[in-house]
Amino acid sequence: MKNVALRAAAFCAVAFAAVLACLMPAAAAQPIRLVVDVSQAPSQNIVRTHETIPVRPGPLTLYYPKWIPGEHQPVGPIVNVADLTIRADGRTIPWRRNPLDMFAFETDVPKGVRSIDVHFTYLGATFGRYSSSRLATPNMLVITWNQNLLYPSTGTIQDTIFAPSIVLPGENWKYATALYDPRRDGNTVTFARTSLEHLVDSPLDSCVNFRQWVLWHGGGTDPGTVTLNACADVPSELDAKPATIDHFKALVREMLAMYGARHWHDYHFLLTLSDVIPGEGVEHHESSDDGEGGNYLIDPKALERGGDLLSHEFNHSWDGKYRMPAGLYPKNLQLPYDDSLLWVYEGMTQYYGDVMSFRDGIRKAKDWPDQIASFWAHYDNEPGRKWRSLGDTATSGPFIYQAPFGYGAERRGEDFYTEAALMWLRADSIIRARSHGTKSLDTFARAFFGQRNTGPIVVTYDRADVIAGLNAVVPYDWAGFFHKWIDDIAIHPPDGFTADGWKLVYTEKPSHWVKKNDFWYSLGFSAVHGSVGDVRFGSPAWKASLGIDTKLVAVDGRAYSDGLLYDALKEAHTSHAPIVLLVEHGNAYRTISIAYGGGPRYPHLQRIPGKPDVLDEVIKPRRKM
């Protein structure tokens, strides 16, 4: 049908005109006609772009998007752009790359020319992280429009207007996107004129094996609809049980109950289910680009493991897209970002992504305390804290995201997600205590990110606005609070849970979140399938000279296994004999002895007698399931 998995509710003409008025300024007379041909993506992993760009004679610079919204980095995959040609009135005109800005293509428009034709080929998802690593399998494809366009230097993301269309691989290919007013003619789908900002903010999934579920439908004059749109490599991977879909319906209800307002007309979860295309999680205002393994909707363990994916990206529609740090909202896609407030944008979203995974029932409430324990213990055993603040990990986001594997604890990584989530948990505790339980962090979230129903607009903020917003909920030294958590170098993360009736302990019993094969808190290294990825500075393993990129061959003279090492830990606890490992690094073998008798150690939260359990209150659903 015309909307093919796109919009379950149409807008009236007046409402739709109002949407376009927001997205397309009146000054934009002629749009850039954009045709993205993905017909060869499933078979050959390429996409062909054709643009007709209105111009004036004289010097012109065309930009390939560099700083990508939601990815917080200059990761526009320029290296995948090939076969670029520019033509005017049927003649090829030369271009040259700016040697100081490799994302800029300079040309001279001849006299009398009013438009130019631009052609290039995108060479597929062959490398990279985030959206640059996702394109197609034989049965599905993912299009992020910024990879497949150039735009002129003469406007901003708001007033550069496109008339986009896409050529699909076949008539049996269905699609889903947040772009407005789709019109299909055979394999070609055209969309309403839209701003560069909204175009880049509206990825498109297309596939042969498709299923859509309506998760929520509002009422009144602006009804709105939320849909889950899933593409799978294998049809059976779409056979989600009703109880699974009920969790996602609960997620939408919980988020709307907390924020009290929305900033989308319709919202589209775009979910790929594939063991070929890498996983994903990138936020957009009226959609999210989500990717999980093929069994995500049909295996309860896979669903729980990725239980915070959709809740995290959905939360960003409020925190990150509607309210956005001013430094993340430049006028075009070439200007650098200021990532220093990612501890709000990503940190608070990480907090609510996890919280909502319990409120919507995907995860069990009994597992919540030990999840907090696993988070806090991880940061409490992070040597990089000796030299780097949490705030610096956010400011360094553009290269932290690209950090290589190995020695991550010494480097510190994307800590502005989960350690910042611990900070927001502590903020919640403070608000509850000082308001005698009448308010919580939800109160702040509703006031700061909810406010009133709007379309997809952006309202920026800075650090002072966050502090003022919190003080409006509960007066407190929030400036000092953030200085302690964000700016100070702290060997240990501040305690965010003791006041809520819990304390951290280590036992020899693994937890739901820290498995038996995790030796980080005992020997001081992490390994996957016997390959060492990190060694904690100062740990017993470090003192024994164990390093990264090392294969564990044997433990105490027997072929290595995680279970055997666990048993050796327990035995050494009573015998006090060193644990002997045979290891391989490169093509060299050596034997090391680890002097450690502390036994297995796994973090847990334990109730403090006589104190109320505030943690349990945090994850209680706001609306009945």
Binning pLDDT at 50, 70 and 90, where does residue 131 land? low
Query: Is 448:344 a contact under the CB 8 Å cutoff?
Result: no
CB 179 within 8 A of CB 201: no
Whether residue 130 is predicted with pLDDT greater than 70 in this model: the reply is no
What phi and psi values does residue 368 have, to the nearest 5 degrees? -65, -50
Q: Is the pLDDT of residue 20 over 80?
A: no
Structure tokens at 432: 């509850």
> What does the alpha-carbon distance between residue 178 and residue 198 come to, in Å, rounded to a whole number?
9
Q: What is the pLDDT of residues 304-336, one digit of tens each?
A: 999 999 999 999 999 999 999 999 999 999 999
* Mean of per-residue pLDDT scores for the chain: 93
Per-residue pLDDT, 79: 93
| pLDDT of res. 442 | 98
In the structure, what pLDDT confidence band is assigned to residue 23 with cuts at 50, 70 and 90? very low
**pLDDT beyond 60 at 273:** yes
User: Are the C-beta atoms of 86 and 52 separated by less than 8 Å?
Assistant: no
pLDDT band at 1; cut points 50, 70, 90: very low
Residue 237, classed as helix, strand or coil, is helix
Cite the DSSP H helix spans in 530-595.
540-543, 562-575
Q: Which residue has the tokens 């034989």?
A: 138
- Residue 188: beta bridge partners? 167, 185
Name which residue leads in pLDDT, 495 or 475. Answer: 475
Residue 82 bridge partners (DSSP): 121
Spatial distance between the Cα atoms of 105 and 415, rounded to a whole number of angstroms: 36
Report if pTM > 0.85. Answer: yes
Residues 6+ apart with CB under 8 A from 43: 138, 169
pLDDT digits 0-9 by tens, 567-610: 999 999 999 999 999 999 999 999 999 999 999 999 999 999 99
All domains of the chain, ordered by start, with CATH? 1-207 (2.60.40.3650), 209-500+613-625 (1.10.390.10), 525-599 (2.30.42.10)
Beta-bridge mates of residue 119:
50, 85
Is residue 160 within 8 A of residue 199, CB to CB? The reply is no
